[in-house]
């Protein structure tokens, strides 16, 4: 069991589980409140929780030890995350969670395309077939 806890598959499944809970909790949470404020509150909670995690585990690192490239891409990632969250909460506020979440997961398709274009990653024909099926499935769930 310990070996399984150290695999990417375990952590990816945990991410999917918590992402599903995020959609359900957020859908209820954005009722009667501005979606941007709801995103702000969520972000404060995330920052506090991660700050506590770093503090208790002693994993904090000095920003001075990070390269400029690392800082640039982490800042860009943070900005993209914030934009994603703002859009996601607004979509949840005006749409159904069971429709919004699959469209949000089209990010899987975009990641595969972007990884191939910008990172030089290669998927097999079977992998690309899976990407197409994920895209088609997300659209079918959203419109069904």
pTM of the model: 0.84
From residue 6, alpha-carbon distances to 10, 12, 38, 138 in Å are: 7, 11, 33, 29
What gap in Å lies between CA 115 and CA 62, rounded to an integer?
29
Question: Can you say how many angstroms the Cα of residue 102 is from the centroid of all Cα atoms in its chain?
Answer: 12
What string of pLDDT tens digits covers the 144 residues of the chain?
778 888 999 999 999 999 999 999 999 999 999 999 999 999 999 999 999 999 999 999 999 999 999 999 999 999 999 999 999 999 999 999 999 999 999 999 999 999 999 999 999 999 999 999 999 999 999 988
Joined tokens for residue 126: 């079977």
Quickly list H helices, the chain.
2-5, 8-29, 35-57, 68-94, 97-104, 107-118, 125-143
For tokens 């995330």, name the residue: 46
> If we measure between CA atoms, which residue out of 79, 139, 82 comes closest to residue 106?
139
């Amino acid at each position: 069991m310990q070996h399984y806890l150290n695999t990417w598959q375990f952590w990816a499944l945990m991410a999917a589980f918590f992402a599903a809970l995020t959609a359900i909790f957020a859908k209820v949470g954005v009722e009667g409140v501005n979606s941007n404020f709801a995103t702000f509150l969520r972000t404060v909670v995330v920052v506090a929780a991660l700050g506590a995690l770093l503090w208790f585990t002693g994993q904090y690192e000095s920003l001075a030890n990070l390269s400029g490239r690392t800082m640039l891409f982490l800042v860009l990632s943070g900005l993209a995350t914030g934009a994603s969250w703002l859009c996601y909460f607004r979509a949840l506020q005006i749409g159904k969670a069971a429709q919004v979440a699959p469209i949000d997961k089209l990010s899987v398709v975009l990641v595969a395309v972007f990884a191939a274009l910008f990172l030089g990653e290669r998927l097999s024909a079977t992998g690309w077939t899976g990407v197409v099926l994920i895209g088609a499935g997300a659209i079918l769930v959203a419109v069904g």
